[in-house]
Chain A
Amino acid sequence: MAEKIGVYVCHCGTNIAQTVDCKRVVDYASALPNVTVAREYQYMCSDPGQDLIKKDIKELGLTRVVVASCSPLMHEPTFRRAVEEAGLNQFLFQMANIREQCSWISENKERATEQAKSIVAAAVKRVEFQESLDVKKVPVNPNVLIVGGGITGIEAALQIADSGKKVYLVEKEPTIGGYMARFDKTFPTLDCAACILTPKMVSVGQHPNIELLSYSDVIGFSGYVGNFTARIRRRAKYVEEEECSGCGLCTEKCPVSVPSEFDCGLGKRKAIYRPFPQAVPNVPVIDKDHCLYFTKGVCKVCQKFCPRGAINFEQKETYTDLQVGTAILATGFGLFDASKVKQYGYGRLPNVITSLEFERFSHASGPTGGKILLKNGQMPTSIAILHCIGSRDTNFNEYCSRVCCMYSMKIAHLAHEKTGARVYEFYIDIRAFGKGYEEFYKRILEEETTFIRGKAAEVTDVPQTPAEKGKLVVVAEDTLLGIVRRVPVDMVVLSVGFEPRKDTIETARIFSISRSQDGFFLERHPKLAPVSTASDGIFIAGACQGPKDIPDSVAQGAAAAANALSLIDRKEVTLEPTVAFIDEKSCSGCKICIGLCAYNAITFDETKKVSKVNDALCKGCGVCVAACPSGAIEQRNFTDNQLLAEVESICATGK
C-alpha cells in the first residue's frame, strides 16, 4: 500500500519566506508521488502549526510527515513529539532544512526556491523508506562521580550530597582545594581565599554522602548514561587513612626537606607532608622519590614517632570500580609557562615572578609569611604587573584568559598595601566584566596604581640611564600617548593566563568527550548547554571548559550538579534507537569496526564469529557503517535505502 505523506512548509516569519517562494514549494510538493497533502504556515513550530499536522494525521490518515523548516537541531524534537501525539511513530517523520541550508545562505529568490523544492523532494523520497523505531528506557544509577576537587568540584559535590545522593569525589593531589587554596585574597571583595574555601573543604571531608578519594586518578570510564563504571587508581600514600589522626608529628620529625610544589618551589616541605595546614583529608603522604627509606633504605623516623602506627611502607596502590549514573568533570586548568616568553626574562632575571608566585608570597602561610620580598630580602619600592602573558597572543594562546585583568588589580592592591610600592599595570584592555568588577577597577585607580595601556615589549636589565641602573626596566609602547615608555622597577609580576591542563587530552580520551580548538573540553552548546557534553550523562564545569573566575566556576559547579540531579530524578533515561546494527549473515568477522568505535560499543561474538553492537553504548556516529567492507552494518533511520533515495532525488532535481 502506498504511503500517505503530508508536507508542511514553514515561513519561519520572514526567515524562509523572504528568500523562498513557499507557495511554489507547496504546489510542487503536492504533485510529488504519494503526497496526500501539502501546506504552508507562518510558524510550523507554534501550537497551531503543530495542530495542522496532528489534525491531518487523524483526518487524512497520513502515514508519513515531512516538515520543511529549520535545522533538525532546532525543532526535530518538537515535530517528533507532535507526530507521536497524533499516534504516528516519531521516526516516520523527516525534517527538510530549508533555512540554514537554503534561505539563509542565498540571495537569489528564484534559485533558493528551486533549491528548497529539491530539498523537500529528497525528504519526501526518503521518508517513504523510514521505519517505526522503539525508544528504549534504562534506569539511572543515582551515584555521581566528580573528578577534581577544586572549588568547582567541591561546590558540585556538596550540592549533590546535600540532596541525599551519593558522590564519589576523585582528586589527583593529596588534598582537595585546587588553585583557590593557594590564593591569598579573592577579587573584587578581597575576602581571604582560605577563609571562604576551607569551611567548604571541611564539609566535603565530613559529609556522609561524599566518599573522597584523594591521591587518585580515573583511569577508565565505560558504560552509558545512567550506568557508567569508573575505574579508579588509588595511589599509595604509605599512610593508613583510617589510622592517621593528622597530628603532624611525622612531618615535624622527617629529616628531608624539598621544594614545595604548593609554594611554586619558593618554600620547603618534608618528604612526608601535607601540602598545606588545612588539607582535606588531613592525612600526609610520603613522597617516595625523596623519602630516605625509599631512596636509601634507612630512616623510618616517621614510623617510629607515629603514635597510632599509621605509617605503612608496604602499602600498594589499589584499583576500584565505581558504579555511577552520571559524571561531572571539574578538572580545572593549567597555567601558562612564563619562561616560554623569553623577552620577559622569567627564569633568567631575578625578581621577575609569576602571578601565582606572588600569591604565595602574599599568603600568610606562604614561604615568606605574607611578605613581598625581593631576592635580596628587601622590600620592593616599585612593582610592574604585566597583563596577558601567554594570552591574546598569536604566538601562544589567542584567547583571553578572562581572570587576569581582575587578579592583576587585586595584586596591585595587595602589593601597594603590603609594601607601599609604586605599582604599574601594563595592559592591552581592561576587562572588568563581572558584578562589582568595574567598581573594583575604579578603586584600584584611586589607589594611585599607574595604568599604562600597552603590552610590555620586554623586561630588560640593560640600563640606558643612571636611574635604570640595578633595576628591571619594563619597555612598552604607551598606546594612549603614542610613545615608548621605559619604566624602571624592582619587581615584575607576570600575569600568566590559563591553559588546558597537560592531561586534558588523556582525560578527554578516557571519558570520550571532545575538546574545542583551544584545547579545553567542549560543551554541548556554548550558550544553551554550557555544562553538558556530547556524551549524555557526562558534564563539565569550571575552568576545564575554558578560563573562568571563582564565581563563574562555582556557578557552573552548581549547574552541573543540577543537571546531574535532574537526570537522576528522572529515574530512567531514553536511549536513541538510531544506532548501528550488524547483519550477521553478511559480517565477515574482520573486526575493523571494533577498532574504529570511539565508544567501545562493538564486541566480537567468538562463537558466531561476528561483531555485535551494544545498543546502549552506540551513539549512532556512523563510523562503523561507513568502514564496514562487506556492507554488513547499517544504522537505523540512516539505512542505505533511505540515504540512497534521498541522494537519488537530489541528483535528479538539484542544480
Chain B
Amino acid sequence: MEFSYYPGCSLEGMNKAYDKSARLVSKELGIELTELNDWNCCGASAYMSIQELRAHLLSARNLALAEKEKKDLAVVCPACLTTLTKSNRYMGEDPKLRRTIASALKAANLQYLGTVKVRHLLEVIVRDIGEQEVKAKVSRPLSDLKVAPYYGCQFTRPFGDFDDKEFPVMLDTLLKWLGAEPVNFPLRAKCCGGMLMTTNEPVGLGLVKSLLDCAAQNGAECVATICPLCHITLEAYQGNVNKRFATSYELPTLYFTQLMGLAFGFNRKELGINEELISSKHILAKHVEAV
C-alpha cells in the first residue's frame, strides 16, 4: 500500500514526534509513505478565510504534485486533510475555480486532473489495514490503559464521510485493537480552543478545561490525539488552566501513532515519547511492560 505523504508544517516543528511515530507505525503495517517532494503550506489556518483563492492555489499545488506521483495523499493533520479535501472537492464541482487554478498551475508547469484522494492516516489504518493486521502487530498490548479518544473539530467535519461527522468512533475502534480502553468521552469532537489562545485566551482556556474535566471524570489516564494543534493546546496550556481555575491537571497527551508504536513494541525514544511536556512515564509504567 503506497501513499504520497504530506506531513504539513506543524510536523516539522512542534509536532515532530507525531511525524516520527506516524512513519514508524506505517512502515510496520506495510504502508509505504513517500514524502511528497517539494510540498508547500496546505493553505489552512487563517488563509482560507482571508484569501480563499490563494489558499486553494496552495492546496492545488500539493495535489498536482501528488498526481504526478500517481499516488493518493496520506495526511495526519486534520487541518491539512480538511483544506486539501476542500480544494479537491471545490475544483471538482466548480468549473470556474478549476479553470482559474489550472491557469495558475500552468505558470508553474503543473496541472491537476482531479485524480488524487486525500486520506487521513487513521482512516487508512482502520479501514484499509483493518483489525486483523493491526492486532497481529500488537506485541505489547496497552492493557486496560484508559484513554480519552480525542478527535478534535476537523477530522470528520465537514467532509468526513468515512465516520460519523458529529460523533466519530474510528479512534475508539483502533484503541481497542491495541488493548487499551477508550473511556466515554462525549467531547471527542469539540473545539480544543487552539485558535483562540492568541486572540481570546480566557475562552480558549475554558474549552481546554472542559476537555480535561470530561476526560478526568471519565477516568482517562491520558488523551489520545490525532491533531497537532489539539495536541499542543491540551498539553501546553494545562499549566495556564491550572493557574486560572485552581486545578491540578497533569494529564499526558499522546498521538494515536505513539500509542500504536508502544503496542507494536517500539521504545519510547523511537516514538518521541520522551519529548512531551507532560510526562507519561508513570502511566505507561503501570500499563505497558518494559518501555
Q: Which residue of B lies closest to A343 (CB)?
A: B166
Q: Take A460-B186, A462-B186 as given contacts and tell me if A342 and B210 are in contact as well, using a CB distance cutoff of 8 Å.
A: no
Which residues of the partner chain B approach A341 to less than 8 Å between Cβ atoms?
Answer: 166
Find B214's partner among A342, A345, A462 (CB 8 Å cutoff): A462
Residue B117 is within 8 A (CB to CB) of chain A in the complex: no
B162 within 8 A of A: no
Q: Does A295 contact B (CB under 8 A)?
A: no
Chain A, Cβ-Cβ closest to B206: A464
For A, the interface residue count at a CB cutoff of 8 angstroms equals: 10
Once the chains are docked, how many angstroms separate the CA of A464 from the CA of B211? 11
Task: Tell whether, in the assembled complex, residue A395 and residue B165 are in contact, meaning their CB atoms are under 8 Å apart.
Answer: yes
Within 8 A of B (CB), among A306-363: 341-343, 345
In the complex, B167 has a CB within 8 A of chain A: yes
Tell whether, in the assembled complex, residue A462 and residue B187 are in contact, meaning their CB atoms are under 8 Å apart. yes
Please indicate the chain B residues that have their CB under 8 angstroms from the CB of A462 in the complex: 186-187, 210, 213-214
State A460–B214 Cα separation when bound (angstroms): 11
**Cα distance A426–B210 in the bound complex, in angstroms:** 25
B144 at the interface (CB under 8 A from A): no
Chain B residues with CB under 8 Å of A458's CB are: 166
**Chain A residue with minimal CB distance to B187?**
A462
Q: Among residues 3 to 35 in chain B, which have CB atoms less than 8 Å away from a CB atom of chain A? A: none
Given A462-B210, A462-B214, A464-B210, A342-B166 contact (CB < 8 Å): yes
Q: With an 8 A cutoff between CB atoms, is A21 at the interface?
A: no
Interface string of B187-217 (1 = CB under 8 A from A): 1000000000000000000000010011000
B186 touches A342 (CB 8 A): no
Q: How far is the CA of A329 from the CA of B166 in the complex (A)?
A: 38
Contacts of A395 in B (CB 8 A): 165
C-alpha spacing A345/B167, complex, angstroms: 9
State in angstroms the CA–CA spacing of A343 and B186 once bound together. Answer: 9
Q: Contact at B167–A343, with CB atoms within 8 Å?
A: yes
Beta-carbon contacts of B165-180 to A below 8 Å, as 1s and 0s? 1110000000000000
Nearest B residue to A461, CB-CB:
B186
| Closest partner residue, chain B, to A395 (CB atom) | B165
Min C-beta distance of B225 to chain A, whole Å: 18
B164 at the interface (CB under 8 A from A): yes
- A458 nearest CB neighbor, chain B only: B166
Could you tell me if B187 and A342 are in contact, using CB atoms closer than 8 angstroms? no
State how many angstroms separate the Cβ of A444 from the closest Cβ of chain B.
30
Of A342, A343, A345, A462, most buried by chain B (CB within 10 Å of CB) is: A462
Residue of B165, B166, B210, B213 ringed by the most chain A CB atoms within 10 A: B166
In angstroms, Cα B186 to Cα A572, docked, is 66
Cα A460 to Cα B210 in complex, Å, equals 13
Chain B 109-139 interface mask (CB, 8 Å, partner A; 1/0): 0000000000000000000000000000000
Residues of A within 8 A of B167 (CB): 342-343
**Contacts A460-B186, A461-B186, A462-B187 known; 15 new A-B pairs at CB < 8 A:** A341-B166, A342-B164, A342-B166, A342-B167, A343-B166, A343-B167, A345-B186, A395-B165, A458-B166, A460-B187, A462-B186, A462-B210, A462-B213, A462-B214, A464-B210
18 of the cross-chain contacts (CB-CB < 8 Å) are A341-B166, A342-B164, A342-B166, A342-B167, A343-B166, A343-B167, A345-B186, A395-B165, A458-B166, A460-B186, A460-B187, A461-B186, A462-B186, A462-B187, A462-B210, A462-B213, A462-B214, A464-B210
Interface residues of B (CB under 8 A from A): 164-167, 186-187, 210, 213-214
Q: List 3 tightest A-B contacts by C-beta distance, closest first.
A: A342-B167, A343-B166, A342-B166
